[in-house]
């Protein structure tokens, strides 16, 4: 969620799985053995490398040398391995449900029918592109640009990429109310840079491939002027890209909070029929204002709209309908869609097997119903109990850390503790499950199921307007390998699926668990105090600078964050493509602070007892090794470039090393001295929280 939800990794990091469909080893064991193991994957280590010289390779070197990225993945690492295990478990649940003739639980029936509709390839092939007919006819029927606002509302409802997209969330200034936020959208390439950077040969080549892809997709849908239309579509999207805000600009919650009463929208986009949009989007009557994230973009979009001929706009809208529908159509559409968005854009040689894509669709469409089955079978109660203890220790470590900060004054510390006291942790699964009773799912109507599920989710969100804030709602399903912080609710959320090795190992000594899931917990807590999250108070209200800081403390905070930006700007994972320290600042603060707080929490957990030495490693050493092994990962080149452009997280190879260089305890644990490659002089180490 833009500016509102901060996770341990980008959602798109979870890639598809290939290979054997066999279920993962049973992970329901909840009782630790009498003798705990280290939790360190010794087989992944390269002990020919000194930890003082290259700690990332020391912990992960053999794994990096021996691991091939599977053919259907753009990235592979700890997260994707754990996601593979989870997907195998979900497959068992879904296929077991599909074997039952008639379910007593309507949600299980919907899960089975949704999956069956996707897996029925013969029906999908026989249907071909017919599901597109009604939507393309709707666009063909346009006779005037004045009809476009209502059509955009319709496309928003059915999940088609349009020039702007609504999002329902809490009003940042009045967090007891829901509001609609309009944000920029409408591009077929990942980011404005893909359209605008003429000196980047790789991005320029991708633009040319994108135009050819659009042409092929239009031709599949019987567009007789597909070559001309593709060029016109690229030109229109380039015009949108020119007026879009950068990813860095969009990180600013103050700058992106722009309140417009309905009557004043005319002044933002003259001649645009906002009433038609608001009525068709079912927003009118439920609220009397919008938040417009990028006002200058909306104005620029309107100018581009007015100077673009209607036939070009119709071709553009048709293209995005075809693109959104292509994964659910016949093989030519699926293959061409993957050829560009999978292979050209991300470097993936092969598409995921159909069963995996079917599971992803069920997850996306009716995820909490599937999550309820997943939790019942694969999430032991003891895991939640142990996580609650870990979270408690991390929060206590944060409280103690606030007392020792040398850059923060007493008044700001009091405010920080007040916010910390209002943190709400959620572990494993929501207390209240989503109600899917109004969603109709048919076993023989894949495209209809997709549309109905998308409209269901749109309506579910729109229906929140005017109602009290639902503090039990989750923004991730329990089977998601991720975690997040939401500043509007001041909550940290840890889905069940991430509570497995290498993040959390019930059989392992606490050192590796604190270096893994403990640092994840610390990461999410730290988002409440990063450069974005720190602008919200404990009740989720967005404050004007300096917020709950004193002016002097805010200056000192900014000085430290600027030093962190400079540190990360120096990393260059691919020649010519550096980490964007400003784009990744919030996540980098969370990584560095989360790791520091997790180490303090680990010390609290020892309660004065010495840590055991296991496999010749001290507790402190295993803690930092646990962190590094979590972040082992490999990328395909074009996926790495894409992530550098759009992902607010630094690459795994950077995350596994950069935060360590700011931890004094790390230098002590491995006796790292001046002259060692991992050494960073104390004056350049950045400590924020």
**CB-based burial label for 271 (10 Å; 0-12, 13-18, 19+):** exposed
Which residues are CB-contacts of 603 (< 8 A; sequence separation ≥ 6)?
Answer: none
pLDDT of 541-556, one tens digit each?
999 999 999 999 999 9
The pLDDT of 119-144, averaged and rounded, is 97
> Can you read off the two tokens belonging to residue 446?
């894949």
pLDDT at 4: 57
Is the model's pLDDT at 490 over the cut of 60? yes
Domain 6-25+48-94+381-430+474-684 in this protein, CATH class: alpha beta
State the pairing for strand pair 6-7/484-486.
Answer: antiparallel
Which is more confidently placed, 18 or 481? 481
**CB-based burial label for 485 (10 Å; 0-12, 13-18, 19+):** buried
Q: What is the spatial distance between Cα 374 and Cα 429, in angstroms, rounded to a whole number?
A: 10
Query: Rounded to the nearest 10 degrees, how much is the dihedral formed by the CA atoms of 658, 662, 665, 671?
Result: 70
**Residues paired with residue 451 on neighbouring β-strands, in sequence order:** none
Q: How confident is the model at residue 103 (pLDDT cuts 50, 70, 90)?
A: confident
pLDDT of 350-377, one tens digit each?
999 999 999 999 999 999 999 999 999 9
Q: Taking the CB of residue 350, how many other CB atoms lie within 10 A of it?
A: 14
pLDDT at 359: 97
pLDDT at 33: 53
The secondary element (H helix, E strand) that includes residue 511 is helix 510-513
The pLDDT of 207-236, averaged and rounded, is 97
Q: What is the spatial distance between Cα 651 and Cα 662, in angstroms, rounded to a whole number?
A: 17
Q: What is the spatial distance between Cα 654 and Cα 658, in angstroms, rounded to a whole number?
A: 6
> Can you read off the two tokens belonging to residue 590?
């969370």
Specify whether the CB–CB gap between 590 and 527 falls below 8 A. yes
Per-residue 3-state assignment (H helix, E strand, C coil) for 186-215: CCCCCCCHHHHCCCCHHHHHHHHHHHHHHH
State the pairing for strand pair 424-428/289-292.
Answer: unpaired
Parts of the chain belonging to CATH 1.10.1380.10: 132-323
The secondary element (H helix, E strand) that includes residue 261 is strand 259-261
Is the model's pLDDT at 35 over the cut of 80? no
Helices 201-220 & 226-243 angle (0-180, nearest 10): 130
- Alpha helix positions (H), 20-147: 55-66, 78-99, 106-119, 121-127, 133-140
Which of 452, 597, 473, 476 lies closest to 529, judged by CA? Answer: 597
- The pTM of the full predicted model, rounded to 2 decimals, is 0.94
The pLDDT of 122-130, averaged and rounded, is 96
Q: How confident is the model at residue 12 (pLDDT cuts 50, 70, 90)?
A: very low
The pLDDT of 328-333, averaged and rounded, is 98
**What is the rounded average pLDDT for all residues in the chain?**
94
C-alpha distance from residue 278 to each of 115, 318, 386, 391 (Å)? 34, 22, 48, 43
pLDDT at 7: 78
Q: Is 484 helix (H, G, I), strand (E, B) or coil?
A: strand
Q: Which fold has domain 132-323?
A: Neutral endopeptidase; domain 2 (1.10.1380)
Which residues are CB-contacts of 670 (< 8 A; sequence separation ≥ 6)?
Answer: 51, 52, 55, 621, 624, 678
Which of 129, 342, 320, 344 lies closest to 220, judged by CA? Answer: 129
Parts of the chain belonging to CATH 3.40.390.10: 6-25+48-94+381-430+474-684
Q: How confident is the model at residue 101 (pLDDT cuts 50, 70, 90)?
A: confident
Q: Taking the CB of residue 223, how many other CB atoms lie within 10 A of it?
A: 20
Is the model's pLDDT at 31 over the cut of 50? no
pLDDT at 11: 41
What DSSP string runs through 154-177? HHHHHT---SEEEEEEE-SSSTTS
pLDDT at 36: 85
Which of 161, 188, 58, 77 lies closest to 640, judged by CA? Answer: 77
Q: What is the spatial distance between Cα 602 and Cα 623, in angstroms, rounded to a whole number?
A: 8
């Amino acid at each position: 969620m833009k500016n509102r939800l901060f996770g341990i990794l980008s959602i798109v990091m979870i890639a598809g799985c290939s290979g054997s469909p066999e279920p993962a080893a049973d992970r329901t064991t909840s009782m630790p053995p009498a003798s705990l193991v280290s939790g360190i994957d010794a087989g992944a280590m390269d002990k020919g490398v000194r930890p003082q010289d290259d700690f990332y390779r020391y912990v992960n070197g053999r794994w990096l040398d021996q691991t091939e990225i599977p053919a259907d993945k753009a990235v592979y690492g700890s997260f994707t391995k754990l996601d593979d295990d989870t997907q195998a478990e979900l497959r068992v649940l879904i296929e077991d449900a599909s074997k039952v003739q008639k379910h007593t639980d309507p949600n299980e029936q919907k899960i089975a029918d949704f999956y069956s509709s996707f897996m029925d390839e013969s029906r999908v092939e026989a249907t071909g592109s017919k599901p597109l007919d009604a939507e393309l006819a709707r666009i063909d029927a346009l006779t005037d640009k004045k009809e476009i606002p209502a059509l955009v509302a319709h496309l928003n409802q059915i999940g088609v990429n349009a020039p702007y997209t609504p999002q329902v969330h809490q009003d940042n200034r009045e967090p007891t109310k829901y509001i609609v936020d309009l944000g920029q959208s409408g591009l077929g390439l990942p980011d404005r840079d893909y359209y605008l950077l003429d000196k980047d040969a790789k991005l320029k080549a991708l633009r040319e491939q994108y135009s050819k892809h659009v042409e092929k997709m239009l031709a599949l849908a019987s567009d007789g002027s597909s070559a001309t239309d593709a060029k016109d579509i690229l030109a229109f999207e380039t015009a949108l890209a020119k007026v879009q805000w950068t990813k860095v600009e969009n990180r600013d919650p103050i700058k992106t909070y722009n309140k417009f009463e309905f009557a004043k929208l005319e002044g933002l986009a003259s001649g645009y029929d906002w009433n038609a949009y608001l009525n068709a989007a079912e927003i009118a009557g439920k609220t009397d204002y919008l938040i417009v994230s990028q006002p200058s973009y909306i104005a620029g979009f309107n100018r581009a709209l007015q100077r673009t001929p209607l036939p070009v706009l119709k071709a553009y809208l048709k293209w995005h309908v075809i693109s959104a529908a292509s994964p659910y159509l016949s093989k030519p559409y699926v293959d061409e869609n993957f050829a560009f968005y999978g292979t050209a854009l991300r470097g993936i040689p092969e598409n995921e097997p159909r069963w995996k894509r079917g599971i992803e669709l069920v997850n996306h469409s009716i995820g909490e119903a599937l999550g309820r089955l997943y939790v019942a079978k694969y999430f032991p109660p003891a895991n939640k109990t142990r996580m609650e203890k870990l979270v408690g220790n991390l929060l206590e470590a944060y409280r103690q850390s606030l007392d020792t900060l040398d850059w923060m004054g007493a008044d700001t510390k009091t405010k920080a503790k007040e916010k910390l006291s209002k943190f709400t942790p959620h572990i494993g699964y929501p207390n209240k499950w989503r109600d899917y009773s109004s969603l109709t799912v048919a076993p023989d109507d894949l495209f209809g199921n997709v549309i109905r599920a998308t409209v269901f989710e749109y309506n579910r969100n729109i229906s929140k307007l005017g109602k009290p804030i639902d503090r039990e709602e989750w923004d991730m399903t329990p089977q998601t390998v991720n975690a997040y912080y939401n500043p509007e609710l001041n909550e940290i959320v840890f889905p069940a699926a991430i509570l497995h090795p290498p993040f959390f190992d019930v059989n392992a000594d606490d050192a590796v668990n604190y270096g893994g899931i403990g640092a994840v917990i610390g990461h999410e807590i730290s988002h409440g105090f990063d450069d974005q999250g720190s602008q919200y108070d404990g009740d989720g209200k967005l404050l004007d600078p300096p917020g709950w800081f004193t002016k002097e403390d805010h200056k000192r905070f900014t000085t430290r964050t600027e030093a962190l930006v400079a540190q990360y700007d120096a990393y260059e994972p691919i020649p010519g493509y550096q980490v964007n320290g400003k784009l990744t600042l919030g996540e980098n603060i969370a990584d560095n602070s989360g790791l520091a707080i997790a180490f303090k929490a680990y010390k609290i957990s020892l309660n004065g007892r010495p840590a055991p030495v296991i496999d010749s490693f001290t507790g402190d050493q295993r803690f930092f090794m646990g962190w590094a092994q979590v972040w082992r990962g490999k990328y395909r080149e074009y996926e790495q470039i894409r992530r550098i452009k759009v992902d607010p997280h630094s690459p795994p190879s950077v995350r596994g090393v950069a935060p360590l260089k700011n931890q004094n305890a790390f230098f002590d644990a491995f006796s790292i001295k001046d002259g060692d490659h991992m050494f960073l002089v104390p004056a350049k180490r950045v400590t924020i929280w």
